[in-house]
Amino acid sequence: MTYQQTQMTFLKVNGLVLHYQHIRTRSNSQRGNRTFLFINSLGTDFRIWTDVVDILTEFGDIVLFDKRGHGLSSTAPSQSTLDDFADDAEALLNHLSISKCIAIGLSVGGMIAQILACRRPSKFEKLILCDTCHKIGNVQIWNDRIKAVKGHGFSSISGSVMQRWFSESFHKTNPETVAGYRNMLERTSKSGYIQTCEAIRDANLAEVARQIKVATLCVVGSEDKSTTPDDVKSLVELIRGAKFQVIEGSAHIPCVDNPYKLSRAIIDFINDKL
C-alpha cells in the first residue's frame, strides 16, 4: 500500500501545541472514508505505532499524535487530568473534520479512548483497547514512580519499565530495539511524564466503561505485567458486549513486539470476524 507521507504537523489546542500526523491513503475512498485514531502510552510517542500503521493503511486513513507532555507536543504548565488528554484528541479530530473514526488506544491511551467513546459514541465506529484497564495501578505505585523520577530521573526506572514493556524473549532477540525504546522513555519531558502518572493515579473509569456503547475489542499481551490479562478481563466485564483477545508472547506494548498479530486482531474485529 502506498500512501501520502506528511511532514511534521503542529496544532494549537487547549493552549498547547500538539504534534500530529494525518496519513491519507489511496484506498480510503473505496472503503467508506474509514479513519484510525491512535493514542499512545505513557513515556512514548506516536512512533510506537509505525509497524501497525504500515499494515492498516490498506484499510483506511491514519491519525497519529503525541499526547500532551510527550514527543514533540507541549507540556501543560500545571497538572492535567485524563479528561484534558481526551479534550486534546477531540479537538484534533474536529480540526481535521473527522466525523467518525476507529480509536485504538494503548495503556493510558486506552483510558483516554474510553473517555472519548463514552462522551461521543456517535463519533466512534469501533474501539480497540490495548493493554489497558478502567483503573491502572494504585496510589502507592504511582506515588513511588513519581518520587523516583523527581528525585533520580528516568534512569532510576527505565530498566524496570523495559521489563514490563517487552517480554523476556523480546529482550533477548531484539536488544537494540529495547535500547531504542529506553532512549525514547528517558528523553520524555519529566514534567509531562509526571503529570501523566498523576492523571492515571487519580482516575477510575469504571463508570465510564459501563456507559460505553461502541463496539469494543480489548486485547492484552500474555506476558503483560502492567495490565495483566486478568486486569483487562475486568474491563471487558464492564463494557457491554466487549470482545477479548490475548496476544501470545507479547508484554505491555504489542504494537512493537508483535505488530502483526495485533494488526490481525484489529482487522478481524473491524471486519466483524471476531
- Can you give the residue range of the structural domain that contains 141? 9-270
The answer to whether 38 and 262 are in contact (CB under 8 A) is no
Categorise residue 139: left if φ over 0, alpha if ψ from -120 to 50, beta otherwise. alpha
Q: Where are the alpha helices (DSSP H) in 153-228?
A: 158-165, 168-173, 175-186, 190-201, 206-210
Structural domain contains residue 232? yes
Sign of CA dihedral 118, 120, 126, 127: negative
Q: According to the model, what pLDDT value does residue 105 have?
A: 99
Q: According to the model, what pLDDT value does residue 7 have?
A: 65
Given a cut of 80, whether residue 273 has pLDDT beyond it is no
Given a cut of 70, whether residue 99 has pLDDT beyond it is yes
Phi–psi pair at 175, nearest 5 degrees: -60, -30
The three grid cell numbers given for residue 175, joined into one nine-digit string: 536488544
Structural domain contains residue 2? no
Long-range contacts of 93-98 (CB under 8 A, 24+ apart): 93/37, 93/63, 93/123, 95/11, 95/13, 96/22, 96/63, 98/35, 98/37, 98/63
pLDDT in tens, 150-197: 999 999 999 999 999 999 999 999 999 999 999 999 999 999 999 999
Burial of residue 8, with CB atoms counted within 10 A of its CB: 0-12 exposed, 13-18 middle, 19 or more buried: exposed
Q: According to the model, what pLDDT value does residue 27 have?
A: 60
pLDDT in tens, 43-61: 999 999 999 999 999 999 9
pLDDT in tens, 106-119: 999 999 999 999 99
pTM listed for this prediction: 0.96
Three-class SS state of 127 = strand
Structural domain contains residue 4? no
Structural domain contains residue 33? yes
How many residues does this entry show for the chain?
Answer: 274
Higher local confidence (pLDDT), 65 or 8: 65
Task: Give the distance, in angstroms, between the CA of residue 5 and the centroid of all CA atoms in the same chain.
Answer: 22
Count the neighbouring beta carbons within 10 Å of the beta carbon of residue 260: 12
The answer to whether 131 and 226 are in contact (CB under 8 A) is yes
pLDDT bucket at 1, cuts 50 / 70 / 90: very low
Instruction: Mention every residue, 6+ apart, whose C-beta is less than 8 A from residue 126.
Output: 102, 103, 214, 215, 216, 217, 269, 270
Q: According to the model, what pLDDT value does residue 274 have?
A: 65
Query: How far from 60 is each of 100, 124, 210, 264, CA to CA, in Å?
Result: 12, 14, 29, 15
Count how many domains the chain has.
1
Structural domain contains residue 3? no
CATH number, domain of 59, equals 3.40.50.1820
Q: What is the mean pLDDT of the chain?
A: 95
Phi–psi pair at 273, nearest 5 degrees: -105, 0
pLDDT in tens, 211-244: 999 999 999 999 999 999 999 999 999 999 999 9
Phi–psi pair at 234, nearest 5 degrees: -65, -30
Structural domain contains residue 111? yes
Q: According to the model, what pLDDT value does residue 29 have?
A: 55
Given a cut of 80, whether residue 75 has pLDDT beyond it is yes
Structural domain contains residue 192? yes
Mean pLDDT of 242-267: 98
Structural domain contains residue 1? no
The answer to whether 35 and 98 are in contact (CB under 8 A) is yes
The answer to whether 242 and 268 are in contact (CB under 8 A) is no
